[in-house]
Amino acid sequence: MSKNKDSSGKRAAKNFGEMVEAFGNAISQIFDDPDLKQKANEFGKSAAEAANTMGNRFKDEEVKQKFHDAGKAAKDFGKSVEDCFKDL
């Protein structure tokens, strides 16, 4: 495997981990619950570690497609939440 593909997979894994951790932090702030904040932080850190572990899989076409699908689902979810609260 080329170094470029390897670094690309690691970068994608790191970005994924950071995104999940940021999402967990945002959710915990919405509900302003100390227990939820702790669980969200634990989840975010766990997801970041898992993303680092699976970094090499990001080069697989099947995995790329699944993450593309997950990204679309996340975008649709975000739009749905935005629509629910746009009148506030």
* pLDDT tens-digit readout, 14-57: 777 777 778 777 877 777 778 877 887 787 778 777 777 776 67
Give percent of the chain with pLDDT exceeding 90: 2
Cα–Cα distance for residue pair 80/75, rounded to 1 Å: 9
Distance, in Å, from the CA atom of 85 to the CA atom of 32, rounded to the nearest integer, reads: 18
Q: What is the pTM of this model?
A: 0.50
Phi first, then psi, for residue 4 (nearest 5°) are: -65, -45
Model confidence at 8, pLDDT cuts 50, 70, 90, reads low
Instruction: Answer whether 36's CB lies under 8 Å from 73's CB.
Output: no
Helices (H) and strands (E) in the chain, counts: 3, 0
Take residue 33 and report the two structure tokens written for it.
């619950």
Confidence of residue 76 (pLDDT cuts 50, 70, 90): very high
Give the torsion through C-alpha atoms of 13, 19, 22, 28, to 10 deg. -110
**Domain ranges across the chain:** 3-85
Q: Tokens for 17?
A: 């981990």
